[in-house]
């Protein structure tokens, strides 16, 4: 112990923080950084998300949210990337990107806060 100071708590890592109760890091899913993609066309599928985000770095998962009855995209999806800097660069580059006739909104996923 440096200078005779005894630490009561071990140093925390970013991964350790995600598992602590009451502490949340927006966008961090434990296995990567979750990105919210809004304003996708009804015919959008997972392959377009792989193609758009792949050039920015390692993508571990993509998911287009679909209507249960029609199987059409509900207009949004999620992309998980392993590296924060790559995810931030993808967001900076793709937010406002025109895909077909739609302008995408891209940001880190945030948790919903329910209004009372």
Two tokens, residue 31: 């296995």
Assess if residue 52 is contained within a domain. Answer: yes
Assess if residue 75 is contained within a domain. Answer: yes
Residues 3-54 have pLDDT tens digits of: 454 444 444 444 444 433 444 455 555 679 999 999 999 999 999 999 999 9
Assess if residue 3 is contained within a domain. Answer: no
Assess if residue 115 is contained within a domain. Answer: no
Assess if residue 19 is contained within a domain. Answer: no
* Residue 31, φ and ψ in degrees, nearest 5: -110, 5
Structural domains in the chain (count): 1
Assess if residue 99 is contained within a domain. Answer: yes
What pLDDT score does 66 carry? 97
Assess if residue 4 is contained within a domain. Answer: no
Per DSSP, the three-state class of 21 is coil
Please spell the DSSP secondary structure of 25-61, one letter per residue: -TTB-SSSEEEEEE---TT--HHHHHHHHGGGS-EEE
Residue 81, domain CATH: 3.30.70.330
**Whether the Cβ atoms of residue 78 and residue 37 lie closer than 8 Å to each other:** yes
| Residue of 27, 31, 22, 40 lying closest to 99 (CA atoms) | 40
pTM of the full structure:
0.72
Cα 30 to Cα 82: distance, rounded to the nearest angstrom: 10
């Amino acid at each position: 112990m440096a200078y005779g100071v005894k630490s009561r708590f071990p140093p925390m890592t970013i991964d350790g923080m995600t598992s602590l109760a009451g502490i949340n890091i927006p966008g961090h899913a434990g296995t990567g950084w979750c990105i919210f993609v809004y304003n996708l066309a009804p015919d959008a599928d997972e392959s377009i998300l792989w193609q758009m985000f792949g050039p920015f770095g390692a993508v571990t998962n993509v998911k287009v949210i679909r209507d249960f009855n029609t199987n059409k995209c509900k207009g949004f999806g999620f992309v998980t990337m392993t590296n924060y800097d790559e995810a931030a660069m993808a967001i900076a580059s793709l937010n406002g990107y025109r895909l077909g006739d739609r302008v995408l909104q891209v940001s880190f996923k945030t948790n919903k806060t329910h209004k009372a």
